[in-house]
């Protein structure tokens, strides 16, 4: 291969004078540009000698550049000497070489050697004078020797010392050091003495490239004044053919790494991408440009914005060519919230020629743009459990700006392991050590239309339960109905929307929206711990049942203290009104969590009746240990004095009475009595009572309960003992517990009373009559231990058979301790305080006084001092006839009628 030598024959000094600065341009003794290798025919190589161009400004650079017109490979060697730094006053040397190419190519510039002349200046003119030129520097000299720049033809520096600064003439030097970055578009390239560097530049069709070289201006003055020389290699070679295809040449990738992968993004949130070359070889982008659009998996255009505009990203030729040296950043891309967003998106990449004809089309990696999460779409998040809600729109998928995502159309299902819908009750739901599980949703779907999701878990066809599936949902046969109550948390996540990115383009199992250091966000769309509160629809009064204190009977009672302890309430003489309540959801089912220590509430209750006579109602104190068994009597401000409590029928059913949604509580009631006037039998049934009320959440008590066929039977009662004659100093007597039966009752009531007294006619009515007492009959249901006290003068009273009351009788043994006969002793009977309220009777006590005892007489006769009259055996009580007998003892106020 021929070598062509171009010798710099510079005549004298050529200085660019501006503001007192003298730059000696190409002021060398021995310089040459030698074409040492090429692959084009010599005849086509155009060589213009590089003249001394000190005053050659008018030639438009024609004589001061190397013209490589034909496309091919060119290798040059450049040598120059007498390169000095600042010497004198702002004087220094620059070497300038310019190349013109007729083709798109690449030029590389490399410093091969640097020498310094350590001797007299005239001796250094000889290029090969080995005595003066050395390749080594003293050890105290810094490594940076030469600075150089490569400038393209489209650059005009303000420091250009020409008469026409709008032109960038070839081979022209600059009146500023190459380190001055304010004047030059590229940073300086610092060439180290012990390390060669290669700089690459692009060449263009009909374009120029200018190379400038100067000594490091930061050297100390002694070094800057020394002449230096250098040798460099310059190569110009063509690029490959013009780019005509995208595949294998151009890639679109995330902004973090050039792996050709696009990562999951949030709809409405800005993100960045980059274009880069697929191959290391430089490409020819002449008359080429790119156009990028976004499409869904149906090929439809999806709207977006970017830093360069909207819906289309245009990469023009000048910007396109930057790919040879670096990637092209595409910043602030924002996918618009449109209805045609699908789970898989990709960028369509079109390669265009200069007339905008599409040469080739390619596509980026597919990626997903997802909602950033879900939010609850219900006001207050409070609903009635068991309500059938259809098309509820209770969940909303949102974009970065919290707007519903119009293109999010999908269906989530609990049974699909990739779509999770989970309901969780509050952790406080514990009953001691036991956790009560609520009625659970076993299957559920959420159907999203344009970002709004409606929940479904039950389906019906003509009130018949049918399968929960997409067909029935679309046919509007399905509903959402929560099967329990209380605050509950819904957790939802969907990772199927981003399935296309599950190969590492998002973080599986996570839902974070902030990119990690690799630029990736979570794959999941998630709703975390959003609370709903489900409430009761109503509280059903399932039943109200009456029962007597004893078997088929309750004594009338007068007691104006309506609040009692649990023990007093259990033992008092009263009928029992048992109420069975059922917490109910809208669909009639019972919530398990309406339970004490869970979400049961106190229920305030009003009890009224339709009787003409007053009914007396009794309940436990608010602090009673077992509030779960009896209704709590509500006290008013007037009730502080227990003697003035209001009999207003107001009660509270404690939340402690509820378990698994059901409660069974009782309140006590009676119809009252007088102490000096008997009262006729009364039968009542539950239907006379009306109950109303609401719990603390204002859930109403259902009033339309059907009463049971139970009843309560009220009798007026007395404890009574006839007068006795005892013909001995000791004898057995009987006390009777009776019920009043006048015979004036209705025929229906008479029949009930007779059946009760005669134990369903196992005895005659006459056999059941209490001796010496009109209209009172022995109470066969009255039994138990005696609670009476007995007192008689000079008399010992002992209990027989442990003083057990059986079938309305109580037996005592009376022993007279005196010596005087006959002797009549009055025996006082004092029942306990409770029994006084339903057994004592004294016709002659004023209405405003309460008798505190009752009594009978026993007359003792001595067998040693005389005979006896009447019939009977010695030592026994004589049968002296009934209350109307002529032989009956008189007195003791026993004959009332």
Confidence at 876, pLDDT banded by 50, 70, 90: very low
Please say if the pLDDT value at position 805 is more than 50.
Answer: yes
- Cα distances (angstroms) measured from residue 109 to each of 114, 150, 233: 14, 9, 6
Is the Cβ–Cβ distance between 602 and 662 less than 8 Å? no
pLDDT digits (tens, 9 = 90+) for 806-832: 889 999 999 999 999 999 999 998 888
Please say if the pLDDT value at position 861 is more than 80.
Answer: yes
Cα distance from N-terminal residue to C-terminal residue, the chain: 160
Confidence at 46, pLDDT banded by 50, 70, 90: very low
The per-residue pLDDT for 58 is: 33
- The string of DSSP letters for 874-886 reads TTSB-----TT-T
If you average pLDDT over residues 50-62, what whole number do you get? 37
The per-residue pLDDT for 316 is: 87
Neighbours of 167 (CB within 10 A): 15
Is the Cβ–Cβ distance between 774 and 843 less than 8 Å? no
- Cα distances (angstroms) measured from residue 780 to each of 161, 672, 710, 753, 757: 138, 22, 21, 12, 6
User: Which of 695 and 286 is assigned the larger pLDDT?
Assistant: 695
Confidence at 129, pLDDT banded by 50, 70, 90: low
Confidence at 870, pLDDT banded by 50, 70, 90: very low
Set out the domains of the chain in order of their start, with CATH numbers. Answer: 22-238 (no CATH), 246-370 (2.60.40.10), 373-535 (no CATH), 538-638+645-710 (2.60.40), 715-860 (no CATH)
| Mode of pairing for the β-strands spanning 15-18 and 21-25 | antiparallel
Please say if the pLDDT value at position 772 is more than 70.
Answer: yes
Please say if the pLDDT value at position 871 is more than 50.
Answer: no
Residue 130: CA atoms inside 13 Å, Cβ hemisphere, count?
0
The per-residue pLDDT for 169 is: 40
Please say if the pLDDT value at position 230 is more than 60.
Answer: yes
Confidence at 358, pLDDT banded by 50, 70, 90: very high
Confidence at 229, pLDDT banded by 50, 70, 90: confident
- Cα distances (angstroms) measured from residue 559 to each of 5, 80, 638, 850: 137, 130, 17, 12
Please say if the pLDDT value at position 704 is more than 90.
Answer: no
Contacts of 417 (CB under 8 A, 6+ apart): none
Please say if the pLDDT value at position 869 is more than 50.
Answer: no
The per-residue pLDDT for 606 is: 94
Confidence at 644, pLDDT banded by 50, 70, 90: low
The per-residue pLDDT for 611 is: 93
CA–CA separation, 894 vs 883, rounded Å?
8
Look over the chain and give the mean of its residue pLDDT values, rounded to a whole number: 79
**Range of 112-126, 170-184, 796-810 with top mean pLDDT:** 796-810
The per-residue pLDDT for 50 is: 39
- The string of DSSP letters for 189-214 reads EEEETTB--EEEEEE-TTEEEEEEEE
Confidence at 715, pLDDT banded by 50, 70, 90: very high
Model confidence, pTM: 0.67
Neighbours of 588 (CB within 10 A): 11
Please say if the pLDDT value at position 804 is more than 80.
Answer: no
Contacts of 641 (CB under 8 A, 6+ apart): none
Confidence at 196, pLDDT banded by 50, 70, 90: low
pLDDT digits (tens, 9 = 90+) for 487-537: 888 888 899 999 999 999 999 999 999 999 999 999 999 987 667 788 999
Helix (H, G, I), strand (E, B) or coil at 731: strand
Please say if the pLDDT value at position 130 is more than 60.
Answer: no
The per-residue pLDDT for 151 is: 60
Q: Which of 195-204, 277-286, 623-632 has the lowest mean pLDDT?
A: 195-204
The per-residue pLDDT for 214 is: 81
The per-residue pLDDT for 122 is: 58
pLDDT digits (tens, 9 = 90+) for 654-677: 999 999 999 999 999 999 998 888
The per-residue pLDDT for 365 is: 96
User: Which of 128 and 487 is assigned the larger pLDDT?
Assistant: 487
Is the Cβ–Cβ distance between 526 and 688 less than 8 Å? no
pLDDT digits (tens, 9 = 90+) for 415-460: 655 567 777 766 655 555 667 888 888 888 999 999 999 999 999 9
pLDDT digits (tens, 9 = 90+) for 600-626: 999 999 999 999 999 999 999 887 666
The per-residue pLDDT for 432 is: 56
Burial of 320 (0-12, 13-18, 19+ CB in 10 A): buried
């Amino acid at each position: 291969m021929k070598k062509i030598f171009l010798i710099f024959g510079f005549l004298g000094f050529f200085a660019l004078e501006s503001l007192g600065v003298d730059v000696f341009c190409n002021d060398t003794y021995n310089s040459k540009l030698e074409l040492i290798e090429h692959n084009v025919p010599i005849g086509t190589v155009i060589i213009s000698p590089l003249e001394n161009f000190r005053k050659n400004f008018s030639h438009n650079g024609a004589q001061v550049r190397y013209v490589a017109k034909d496309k091919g490979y060119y290798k040059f060697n450049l040598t120059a000497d007498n390169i000095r730094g600042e010497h004198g006053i702002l004087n220094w040397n620059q070497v300038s070489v310019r190349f013109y190419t007729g083709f798109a190519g690449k030029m590389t510039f490399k410093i091969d050697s640097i020498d310094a002349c350590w001797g007299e200046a005239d001796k250094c003119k000889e290029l090969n004078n080995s005595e003066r030129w050395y390749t080594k520097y003293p050890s105290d000299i810094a490594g940076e020797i030469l600075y150089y720049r490569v400038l393209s033809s489209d650059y005009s520096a303000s420091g250009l010392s020409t008469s026409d600064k709008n032109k960038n003439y070839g081979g022209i030097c600059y009146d500023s050091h190459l380190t001055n970055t304010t004047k030059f578009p590229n940073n300086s390239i610092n060439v180290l003495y012990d390390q060669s560097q290669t700089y690459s530049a692009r060449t263009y069709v009909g374009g120029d490239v200018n190379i400038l070289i100067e000594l490091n201006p930061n050297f100390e003055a002694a070094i800057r004044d020394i002449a230096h020389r250098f040798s460099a290699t310059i190569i110009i070679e063509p690029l490959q053919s013009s780019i005509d295809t995208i595949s294998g040449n151009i890639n679109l990738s995330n902004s973090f790494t050039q792996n050709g992968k696009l990562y999951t993004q949030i709809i409405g949130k800005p993100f960045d991408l980059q274009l880069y070359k697929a191959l290391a070889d430089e490409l020819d982008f002449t008359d080429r440009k790119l156009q990028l659009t976004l499409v869904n998996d149906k090929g439809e255009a999806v709207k977006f914005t970017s830093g360069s505009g909207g819906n289309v990203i245009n990469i023009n030729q000048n910007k396109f060519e930057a790919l040879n040296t670096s990637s092209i950043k595409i910043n602030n891309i924002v996918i618009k919230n449109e209805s045609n967003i699908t789970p898989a998106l990709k960028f369509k990449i079109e390669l265009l020629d200069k007339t905008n004809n599409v040469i080739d089309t390619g596509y980026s990696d597919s990626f997903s743009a997802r909602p950033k999460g879900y939010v609850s779409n219900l006001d207050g998040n409070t609903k009635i459990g068991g309500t059938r809600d259809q098309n509820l729109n209770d969940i909303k998928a949102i974009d970065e700006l919290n707007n519903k995502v119009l293109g999010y159309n999908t269906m989530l299902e609990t049974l699909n392991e990739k779509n999770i819908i989970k309901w969780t009750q509050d952790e406080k739901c514990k009953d001691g050590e036991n956790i009560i599980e609520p009625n659970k949703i076993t299957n559920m779907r959420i159907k999203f239309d344009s970002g709004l999701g409606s929940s479904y878990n039950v389906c019906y066809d003509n009130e018949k339960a049918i399968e929960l599936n997409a067909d029935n949902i679309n046919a509007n046969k399905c509903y959402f109905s929560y099967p329990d109550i209380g605050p509950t948390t819904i957790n939802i996540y969907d990772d199927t929307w981003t399935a296309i990115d599950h190969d590492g383009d998002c973080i599986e199992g996570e839902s974070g929206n902030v990119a990690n250091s690799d630029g990736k966000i979570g794959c999941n769309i998630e709703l975390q711990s959003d609370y709903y509160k489900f409430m009761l629809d109503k509280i059903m009064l399932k039943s109200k049942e009456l029962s007597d204190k004893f078997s088929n009977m309750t004594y009338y009672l007068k007691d104006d203290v309506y609040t009692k302890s649990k023990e007093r309430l259990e033992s008092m003489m009263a009928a029992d009104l048992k109420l069975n309540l059922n917490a109910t959801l809208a669909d009639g089912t019972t919530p398990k969590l309406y339970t004490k220590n869970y979400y049961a509430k106190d229920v305030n209750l009003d009890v009224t009746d339709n009787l003409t006579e007053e009914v007396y109602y009794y309940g436990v104190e608010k602090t009673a240990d077992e509030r779960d068994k009896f209704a709590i009597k509500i006290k008013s401000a007037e009730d502080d004095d227990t003697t003035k409590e209001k009999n207003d029928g107001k009660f509270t059913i404690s939340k402690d009475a509820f378990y698994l949604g059901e409660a069974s509580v009782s309140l006590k009631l009676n119809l009252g009595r007088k102490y000096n006037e008997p009262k006729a039998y009364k039968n009542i049934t539950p239907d006379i009572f009306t109950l109303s009320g609401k719990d603390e959440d204002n859930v109403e008590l259902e009033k339309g309960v059907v009463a049971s066929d139970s009843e309560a039977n009220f009798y007026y009662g007395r404890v009574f003992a006839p007068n006795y004659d005892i013909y001995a100093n000791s004898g057995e007597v009987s006390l009777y517990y009776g019920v009043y039966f006048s015979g004036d009752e209705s025929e229906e009531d008479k029949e009930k009373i007779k059946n009760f007294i005669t134990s369903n006619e196992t005895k005659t009515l006459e056999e059941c009559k209490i001796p010496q007492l009109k209209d009172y009959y022995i109470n066969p249901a009255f039994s138990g231990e005696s609670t009476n006290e007995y007192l008689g003068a000079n008399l010992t009273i002992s209990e027989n058979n442990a003083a057990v009351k059986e079938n309305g009788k109580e037996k005592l043994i009376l022993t007279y301790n005196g010596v005087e006969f006959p002797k009549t002793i009055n025996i006082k009977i004092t029942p306990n305080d409770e029994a006084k309220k339903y057994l004592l009777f004294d016709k002659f006590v004023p209405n405003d006084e309460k008798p505190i005892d009752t009594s009978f007489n026993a007359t003792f006769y001595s067998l040693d001092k005389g005979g006896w009259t009447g019939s009977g055996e010695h030592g026994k009580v004589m049968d002296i006839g009934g209350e109307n007998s002529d032989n009956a003892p008189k007195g003791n106020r026993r004959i009332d009628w």
